[in-house]
C-alpha cells in the first residue's frame, strides 16, 4: 500500500473518532449551559446567603424639668454639683420667658404662643407629643400627682407644668402617673420619657434643696437602666431662673459626654436636640436653634463604652 492510500485510511478513522467524541461533548456543554449561575461576593462562598445588617438601637431621651432656680444656686446643691462634675453641664443656658407655662411650651413646640401667664389655653393640635405619635415614636410624660385627669388631678400635680394637655385641648393617653416610671425603666422604656415632679419636689414650693434630694433618688434608676446605657441621654433643666439674669442650668447626663458646654443655648435648643436625637423635624423656633446633637454624636464615637 502506498503512502497516499495510508493517508486516506488515517483521515477516515480520525473523522469517525471526532464524530464519536463530539456527541457526548455537545451534550455536556448543553447541560452546563442550562444550570443557574451561582452568585457570590468577595470573601463568601456561593452557597452562603448575605447576613442582614444589624438594626441600630433606638435612641432614648429622658427630660426632667424643675422649677425657678438660677444656674448658680442649682449648681451649689450637693447632688446636682456631683452630676455636673461627673457628666456635662451647659454654662450659658437661658430660659425663654416667665412664668412657667410659656417656657414649657417653648420646650415642647418651639413657641410661647404669645402666652404670658399660667392659665389654660387651648392650642392647635401640635407639639412634640403629637409629632412623636404621628411618627410612631413611643413617648410618655410621667407626672407626679397625676391621677388620670390632666385638668383635675390634685396637688402636687400642676396643669401648668404639663404642656402636653394644651395642644389640641385633650389629655393624651401618654400622660401617666410618676409611679409608672420604675416599671418602664425595667421593661419597655419609651424613646422619650418626659418627667415632671410635683410642686414640692420640683423646687417650686419647697426650694431647690428638695429638688436636689428628689434627683438623688430618681436619677440613679435612670442611669442604671438599659435604655440609658445604650447611648441614652438625660437632660435636667429648670424652667426659669430665680435671679434677674434668666440663666438656668442644663445638665446633660450621658454615658460619654463630659465637661462644660459654653455655647449659647436655651429652651429652643433643648427641643432642637430632642428632635435631632429622635429623628423628627424641629418645630417652631427650634429650627434656628443650636442643637447639642453634634456634641453627643462625637462623644459617643470617641467613647468605647457607649452605644
In CATH, what number is assigned to the domain containing residue 184?
3.40.720.10
Q: Structurally, how many domains does the chain consist of?
A: 1
- Confirm whether 35 is domain-assigned: no
Domain coverage including residue 257: 66-302
- Note the pLDDT tens digit of each residue in 165-211: 999 999 999 999 999 999 999 999 999 999 999 999 999 999 999 99
pLDDT range class, residue 304, cuts 50, 70, 90: low
- Confirm whether 277 is domain-assigned: yes
Q: Do residues 260 and 89 lie in contact, with contact meaning Cβ atoms separated by under 8 Å?
A: yes
- Confirm whether 171 is domain-assigned: yes
Place of cell 463530539: 22
- Confirm whether 159 is domain-assigned: yes
First-to-last C-alpha distance (Å) of the chain: 92
- Confirm whether 43 is domain-assigned: no
- Confirm whether 104 is domain-assigned: yes
- Confirm whether 224 is domain-assigned: yes
**Stated pTM of the model:** 0.82
- Confirm whether 53 is domain-assigned: no
- Note the pLDDT tens digit of each residue in 220-250: 999 999 999 999 999 999 999 999 899 999 9
Amino acid at each position: 500500500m502506498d503512502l497516499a492510500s495510508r493517508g486516506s485510511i488515517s483521515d477516515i478513522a480520525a473523522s469517525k473518532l471526532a464524530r464519536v467524541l463530539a456527541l457526548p461533548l455537545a451534550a455536556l456543554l448543553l447541560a452546563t449551559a442550562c444550570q443557574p449561575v451561582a452568585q457570590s461576593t468577595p470573601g463568601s462562598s456561593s452557597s452562603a446567603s448575605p447576613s442582614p445588617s444589624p438594626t441600630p438601637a433606638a435612641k432614648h431621651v429622658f427630660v426632667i424639668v424643675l422649677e425657678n432656680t438660677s444656674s448658680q444656686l442649682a449648681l451649689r446643691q450637693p447632688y446636682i454639683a456631683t452630676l455636673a462634675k461627673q457628666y456635662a453641664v451647659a454654662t450659658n443656658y437661658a430660659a425663654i420667658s416667665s412664668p412657667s407655662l410659656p417656657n414649657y411650651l417653648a420646650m415642647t413646640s418651639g413657641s410661647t404662643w404669645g402666652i404670658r401667664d399660667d392659665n389654660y389655653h387651648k392650642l392647635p393640635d401640635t407639639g412634640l407629643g403629637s409629632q412623636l405619635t404621628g411618627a410612631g415614636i413611643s413617648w410618655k410624660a410621667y407626672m407626679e400627682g397625676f391621677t388620670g385627669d390632666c385638668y383635675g388631678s390634685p396637688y402636687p400635680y400642676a396643669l401648668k407644668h404639663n404642656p402636653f394637655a394644651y395642644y389640641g385641648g385633650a389629655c393624651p393617653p401618654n400622660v401617666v402617673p410618676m409611679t409608672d416610671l420604675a416599671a418602664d425603666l425595667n421593661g419597655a422604656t419609651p424613646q422619650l420619657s418626659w418627667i415632671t415632679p410635683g410642686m414640692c419636689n420640683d423646687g417650686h414650693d419647697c426650694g431647690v434643696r428638695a429638688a436636689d434630694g428628689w434627683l438623688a433618688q430618681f436619677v440613679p434608676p435612670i442611669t442604671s437602666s438599659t435604655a440609658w446605657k445604650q447611648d441614652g441621654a438625660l437632660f435636667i433643666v429648670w424652667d426659669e431662673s430665680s435671679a434677674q439674669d434668666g440663666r438656668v442650668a442644663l445638665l446633660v447626663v450621658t454615658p460619654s459626654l463630659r465637661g462644660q458646654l459654653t455655647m449659647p443655648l436655651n429652651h429652643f435648643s433643648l427641643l432642637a436636640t430632642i428632635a435631632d436625637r429622635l429623628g423628627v423635624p424641629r418645630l417652631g423656633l427650634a429650627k434656628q436653634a443650636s442643637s447639642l446633637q453634634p456634641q453627643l454624636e462625637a462623644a459617643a464615637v470617641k467613647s468605647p463604652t457607649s452605644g
